[in-house]
Chain A
């Protein structure tokens, strides 16, 4: 039995028919076509599907779509500007070589965004804590941490 659910997706109001068993990731990737959110495990273990709900990093593979009613959802697609320019955080990931296969990248960036929104000058330990739920098999995480630090500096300098 489908029910209409309305929420704000990357700043725009959307309404979508949702089944009781649909997860948020199904709705984002399916009818809403936001394929940037990746499903790596479907069990909340890898973080590839991380999106922000009311500013908090959440695994979209565990989140029931019905419960998103009235909430603010941010996905990787919402970070770029109208001219398709990368956000400061995305650019830092590109510049610091923090992206290899890239499958974990959208989730990684969304977790980092949640952190930087709440804590603009995180320590390395705080970055590790915030991204602990995001797995990466390619990078060894070193350049990801460098990218988040770099983004924090650039955002602080307003560049």
Chain B
């Protein structure tokens, strides 16, 4: 195996000192000269026609600089289906709907002004569940499609479908079949730093926007289109990403508040900041999609799966974000987690008058996994096989091509299963009973990019200066996940410099090369590949120059030494002869010849070589760029086929729980998380990713749900929306990283940003079943549901 000098070493995150000192600048901390504060007036109804909007009182409030509505601004449509509007022209379809925007000299005045806007509505009947929305004669959330053609129902036109193998034969071959229906709630990303942006125009009508985004370059495209809608055709947007207080998928779309800030900034000619308060974040930032999943699976007498059938119904809410494409990811576990010869998968998405939903970490995988891994345990029980053995019998293997056409390069699933079983003392603990139990669940996820767009590419620019520093320009977004620590190590490793000499510049579409976005666990995977490509180019350039300049510099060294010590005699080594590009090596910022004696005077500090390249006639500065587009395919989602990722990450999590049958309370006693990560790049950052994702999985399993009544969100605060605190996480978590050294992975690594929360909920659910013999099919698993289930047992 290749020996690494920096990869795999413990290194503190480069940005963490500023964060520990309180010096990191989030949107909350940034002010621009002359900046105004924007505020949004949201809808008072979940479904209504807008009869009239009176902004006159708001406009007259001293300190108010602009009040905008759909009536006094150009129409801007948003979302990839173009079914949403920055400001709603004639109808509201959810409580989140933006009716007006205000810019004022301070936030209090802006807040007062939005209350002064009078809106007259004609309420319409609403639909708040996907089944109701599909009924004959249900109120239409959208009467027309974005092209203006009349719609007849609330079903979205998006289609996600897969059918493989012979389902009839699969059913015939099955000795045991288990069917079940499972559901998952909407949950809030709950970033500690709330959402917002600052928009401003220069004198040429070009826009600069500092915003919370994971897709700076797709956002640039979206905003440029909005500029065009505003009559500013051909004008450009510069997207700058400040320090982010978390994102977890909430930055995967552009949002109405960004367009409202842009409209207000253009109207006033001043920078405008819109920053959500916490209750706005809960009520008016789109949560994770909720869905119902019907699943049935069968296996033969030996426990081999013979077929799998999955139907998904997803509540899209009132508009369409990228989150509507969760089924594109659901297909992956549906077709490819464990070996199944025949799979049917179909997903339907339905408009409702609930708040529209968007992406969150895992992107459909935790949802599907919740149904699949519960059902695996049920089928194992029906077949009389231990659930661990059942999973091993059906375990994926390296080299297989799955029914969806996923090409599995490396697969550490077997090792992950064994690790969890071993650490939980599985066979003994399973039998214990007495309100204590253990359970496990596994996952597959994209680990080598995820092509859901026409490019899955990512650029990298490395710029060297006179001092041997490397300035990195990359479009991947650090939102807390540790991208910068891994990128620093990758550049140090691939180029041959000290990590302290690597400087990562802020993401700015004006300076950084294109990147599709920081999603699909692709950040580290793409950044490291880009770093390797760009560093290799730079090394070629450095070594080519060294062939010419290195001997001269070494002669200077010798002269200097001889000046100090007249007796100094260099050994018999012909530097000029040796100085061929292919014979150089660069490590930790020191250039040397691989076969030369390890003498300090025969080595050259990189900065000195760079200065000798720069400061001469026809001098040069070294900067390279690279663009990496992984070897994966954009699947045909209507056929459900295509190798969407260059490699796949696997993992298994296990839980030991104790259930109080009097109160219904679940106490997690321990969890084990074994993940096939390809290669550990930076241990503390990797641990943080898995611990943190697992905690979100615990919240998903036991506590979190965005509650709504007729579309209104009832728990818009941390009092009533409970994310795990220190006490809920007061159990030991044992991690195990399986290194499969994937040939497609940079340094062998796979993406790991999302996997940590994917199997957590079913692992806990399976443990609860083992403890008390009841299975809750509807997340979260609250004490009330457990008590009710115990009563009905």
Contacts and interface: CB of A to CB of B under 8 A. Distances in A.
B246 A101 contact: yes
A24 interface: no
Interface string A126-158: 011101101111111111010000000000000
A145 to B, nearest CB: 8
A47 to B, nearest CB: 10
A120 interface: no
Contacts of A80: 21
A62 to B, nearest CB: 13
Contacts of B23: 36
Contacts of B317: none
Chain A interface bracket (under 10, 10 to 19, 20 to 34, 35 or more)? 35 or more
Contacts of B559: none
A116 interface: no
B310 to A, nearest CB: 30
Given A35-B29, A46-B718, A77-B22, A140 B192 contact: no
Interface string B476-497: 0001111000000000000000
Interface in A5-62: 29, 34-43, 45-46, 48
B356 interface: no
Contact of B192 (A40, A43, A75, A143): A40
Interface in B1-49: 12-13, 15-26, 28-29
Nearest to B480: A101
Nearest to B22: A36
Contact of A143 (B24, B481, B684): B684
Contacts of B16: 93-94, 97, 99, 102
Contacts of A45: 278, 717-719
A70 B533 CA distance: 60
B85 to A, nearest CB: 29
B22 A41 contact: no
B13 to A, nearest CB: 7
B400 to A, nearest CB: 33
Given A138-B688, A139-B691, A42 B278 contact: yes
Given A101-B193, A135-B718, A75 B22 contact: yes
Given A41-B278, A46-B718, A102-B16, A86 B190 contact: no
Nearest to B695: A140
Contacts of A142: 687, 691, 729, 733
B571 to A, nearest CB: 43
Q: Is the interface of B mostly helix, strand, loop or mixed?
A: loop
A138 B245 CA distance: 9
Interface in A87-143: 90-91, 93-97, 99-106, 109, 125, 127-129, 131-132, 134-143
A34 to B, nearest CB: 8
Nearest to B18: A102
Nearest to B193: A103
Query: Which of B21, B26, B687 is most buried by chain A, counting CB atoms within 10 A of its CB?
Result: B21
A73 interface: no
B193 A139 contact: no
A106 B479 CA distance: 17
A97 B685 contact: yes
B29 A138 contact: no
Contacts of B194: 40
B146 to A, nearest CB: 34
Given A36-B22, A139-B692, A142-B733, A46 B719 contact: no
A135 B723 contact: yes
Nearest to B728: A141
A132 B194 CA distance: 21
B726 A86 contact: no
B769 to A, nearest CB: 24
Interface in B568-590: none
Chain B interface bracket (under 10, 10 to 19, 20 to 34, 35 or more)? 35 or more
B618 to A, nearest CB: 42
A76 interface: yes
B191 interface: yes
Contact of B727 (A86, A132, A137, A143): A132
Q: Is the interface of A mostly helix, strand, loop or mixed?
A: loop
Given A100-B481, A100-B482, A138-B246, A105 B19 contact: yes
A46 B725 CA distance: 10
Contacts of A138: 192, 246, 480-481, 688, 692
B726 A39 contact: no
B771 interface: no
A144 to B, nearest CB: 8
A147 to B, nearest CB: 10
B23 to A, nearest CB: 7
Contacts of A103: 26, 191-193, 245-246
B270 interface: no
B26 A97 contact: no
Given A42-B277, A48-B192, A102-B243, A140 B21 contact: no
Interface string B539-571: 000000000000000000000000000000000
Contact of A37 (B12, B22, B719): B22
B13 A97 contact: yes
A85 to B, nearest CB: 10
A48 B194 CA distance: 12
A102 B480 contact: yes
A139 B725 contact: no
Contacts of B306: none
B248 interface: yes
Nearest to B275: A39
Nearest to B17: A94
Nearest to A80: B21
B597 interface: no
B730 interface: yes
A44 B437 CA distance: 37
Interface in B453-472: none
A97 B684 contact: yes
A137 B28 contact: no
Contact of A36 (B21, B248, B277, B688): B21
A101 B687 contact: no
Interface string B710-741: 00000001110001111101100100000000
Given A40-B192, A142-B691, A101 B717 contact: no
A108 to B, nearest CB: 10
A139 B611 CA distance: 43
Contacts of B719: 43, 45
A82 to B, nearest CB: 13
A139 B583 CA distance: 45
Interface of B: 12-13, 15-26, 28-29, 189-194, 243-246, 248, 277-278, 479-482, 684-685, 687-688, 691-696, 717-719, 723-727, 729-730, 733
Q: Which 6 interchain pairs have the tightest Cβ spacing?
A: A36-B22, A101-B480, A97-B684, A102-B19, A140-B695, A103-B245
8 contacts: A45-B719, A90-B20, A100-B482, A101-B243, A101-B479, A135-B725, A141-B691, A142-B729
Interface of A: 29, 34-43, 45-46, 48, 75-77, 79-80, 84, 86, 90-91, 93-97, 99-106, 109, 125, 127-129, 131-132, 134-143, 145
